[in-house]
Structure 1
Amino acid sequence: MSIRKILVPLKGGAQDKVVLGAAARVAKQLGGQLTGLFVRPDPTEALPYMGDGVSGQVIEQLLDAAKEGADAASARASAHLHEAAKAAGLEVVKAGGPLPSARFYDVTGRQDVVISEESRLADLVVFAEGEQGGDQFGGDALEAAVMNAGRPVLIAPQDGFAEKLGGTVVIGWDGSVQASHAVSAALAFLQAAEKIVILCIGEDEIEPERGARLKDYLGLHDVKAELRLVDRKDRSTGQALLEEAGALDAGLLVMGAYSHSRLRELLIGGVTRHVRGHASIPVLMAH
């Protein structure tokens, strides 16, 4: 799968620089377009909740203040995109334009809804760690992209993305539909990598046939991979996956997202939830 449109939700904060740096390097090396998306809330949606006692003048002042705040955040997000584009040698375009390039959108609406809608026509959606110190990369917006829009997402930790797409890529493989979608979405990254390791994690003796079938499939795409069967022992699957990827000095982890329901992940945890809360390397996931 070629990667041409790389959608990056922006908030106008410091974390924009992390996610834009990662997305700009992907766009540069894969010949895509970095599309920065700033979603400003619609202040008029709050009007029904203000009550009858609020005067028109107060409402007007509140709307003006909201617009000023959104304008300032949008301007910062746009400036961050221009800085990242310049550093990566990307031309910033209004529409269309040559590849690789970058462009900026400013849209009004509810963030998760807008991101879900815009993600449907993107090849990859990139998220950074939350600015508020939350325990999940991307928050509701990431779930909207990966679940509602069905698009692959890339989470970029504080340390950013490797300067080159080469190096080691680890595939967390369990034979699920979600993992197969992630592999398809990651083919451009796999073809640019120096080393690919398929990790099958389980307990005691692990059946190698499933991983061997993926290895054969990748070979048809001129992607050479090695297979490793890992006993997770007393670790959770998510913990084992991150630890093994770290031991291999991986620059990217590829995995399926939400093989179990989001409710189950919320109540008892799961691989996706663990990885989103503890990843220290870039992770590409798909549902």
Structure 2
Amino acid sequence: MSYQNILVAYTATEASNAALAVAKKLAKPTNAHVTGLLAHGLPASFYNYAAQVPHTTVLTELTESDTARRDEVRAAFFAQAGDMPADRLHFLDLRGEPDLRLIEASRSYDLTVMGPTDTGSEFPHMEGHPDVVAREAGRPVLLAPVEPTAQALNGHVLIAWDGGNAAARAVADALPLIKDANTVSVLSVGAREEDAQAMNRFTTHLERHGKRPKHISLPKTRGRIGDTILSTAADIGAGLVIMGAYEHSKFAEDLFGGVTNRVIAKANIPILMSH
């Protein structure tokens, strides 16, 4: 089993170029298809100024500007991915709210690769949010950092395991990456003594897929679990983290700063998330 159909959220920014680079690296060994997706709504300036100037004037100018940018993005995608077979490259240009279009489209792909949201983009109406897509799509999202460390995708996978629904979904979605890994480590934080049997079942599951994972059990401290996941990955030399997204509500994580938000904000290796 491998990923044969990979979607990339692509806007020709530094972040989306990083996502495309990761998608290409995953696609080449199996000659998988890679599809770039540009999703775009109307820019906020249309709503801000449409009432003050003639509607047709605003719409015409914004449409021309958007059309030029969309053409640039499409050309950049094929230029950046030009070393892949032409029949394995595809591009979609979809009008609508970016997150909604990405969520809808990702359900027809094995994996969606995204860079972090560019909060300073000149075209914010073309920017999607990987955390939102991971939570709502029902499909895995691979977050590609803009400046990955040298160990990124080095064949050592770290699974952040809490036994929850989201973590279980992430592991199932990531099996192609787990089975191709040279080393698999499993991190549990604050596990109780009575959790040992459940952990044994999980490691047995991985063994039956041909892997002998190393279990790392750390106590829960006052520090953030997201930081613990990333620091552990750095300490053991892992090049990919697999984790569940938003085991608690997104509202709670946004309000109080949860694991998912912390990892997305600070990751310097790819993070596969599912919900």
TM over 0.5: yes
CA contact (8 A) 1:204 1:231 kept: no
CA shift, 1:122, in A, is 1.6
Given that residues 46 and 58 in structure 2 are in contact (C-alpha distance below 8 angstroms), is that contact kept between their aligned partners in structure 1?
A: no
Equivalent position to 1:244, from 232, 240, 244: 232
* Map of 2:71 onto structure 1: 75
Aligned to 1:230: 218
Q: Which amino acid aligns with 2:81?
A: A
Residue 145 (structure 1) shift: 2.0
Residue in structure 2 matched with residue 105 of structure 1 by the alignment? 92
CA distance in 2, matches of 1:67, 1:133: 21
> Which amino acid counterpart does residue 124 of structure 1 have in structure 2?
L
Unaligned residue ranges in structure 1 (runs of 5+):
94-100
* Structure 1 residues 203 and 224: alpha-carbon distance in aligned structure 2, compared to 1, 3 A threshold: closer
CA contact (8 A) 1:21 1:160 kept: no
Residue 130 of structure 2 corresponds to residue 142 of structure 1 = yes
CA contact (8 A) 2:14 2:146 kept: no
What value does the CA root-mean-square deviation take over the aligned residues? 2.8
Aligned equivalents of 2:224 and 2:192: distance in 1? Answer: 14
Alpha carbons 2:148, 2:268 under 8 Å: kept: no
Q: Which residue of 2 aligns with 1:39?
A: 39
Residue of structure 1 in register with 2:60 after alignment: 64
Partner Cα separation in structure 1 for residue 183 and residue 237 of structure 2: 11
CA separation of 1:8 and 1:163: change in aligned 2, threshold 3 A: farther
SS of corresponding position for 1:253: strand
Distance in 2, matches of 1:164 and 1:238, equals: 18
CA distance in 2, matches of 1:29, 1:235: 39
- Separation in structure 1 between the aligned mates of residue 140 and residue 58 of structure 2, nearest angstrom: 38
Give the Cα–Cα distance (whole angstroms) in 2 for the partners of residues 143 and 241 of structure 1.
Answer: 17
Unaligned runs of 5+ in 2: none
Write out aligned runs for 1:260-279 (5 A).
260-279=248-267
Would the aligned equivalents of 1:146 and 1:153 in 2 still touch at CA under 8 Å? yes
CA contact (8 A) 2:23 2:34 kept: yes
Q: Which residue of 2 aligns with 1:18?
A: 18
- After TM superposition, list the pairs within 5 Å mapping 1:104-123 onto structure 2: 104-123=91-110
1:256 to 231, 239, 244: 244
Identity %: 31
The residue identity in structure 2 corresponding to 1:61 is T
Once the two structures are overlaid, the 10-residue window that deviates more, 202-211 or 21-30, is 202-211
Deviates most, 116-125 or 196-205: 196-205
Matched residue, 1:91:
85
2:175 counterpart residue number: 187
Deviation at 1:271, TM superposition (A): 0.9
Shift of 1:85: 2.0
C-alpha distance 10-82 of structure 1, shift in aligned 2 (>3 A)? same
In 2, Cα distance between equivalents of 1:31 and 1:165:
18
- State the distance in 1 between where 2:110 and 2:267 align: 22
Equivalent-residue separation in structure 1 for 2:227 and 2:148 (angstroms): 21
Aligned counterpart for 1:281 among listed residues 254, 259, 269: 269
Does structure 1 retain, via aligned residues, the 8 Å contact 2:140–2:173? yes
- Between the aligned partners of 1:132 and 1:29, the Cα distance in structure 2 is 33
TM-score (norm 2): 0.87
- The aligned amino acid for 2:101 is V
The one-letter code matched in structure 2 to 1:41 is G
Alignment partners' CA distance in 2, 1:176 and 1:221: 20
CA shift for structure 1 position 49: 8.1
SS of aligned partner of 1:208 = helix
Aligned-residue offset at 1:253: 0.3
Pair 1:3 & 2:3 matched: yes
Q: Which amino acid aligns with 1:83?
A: A
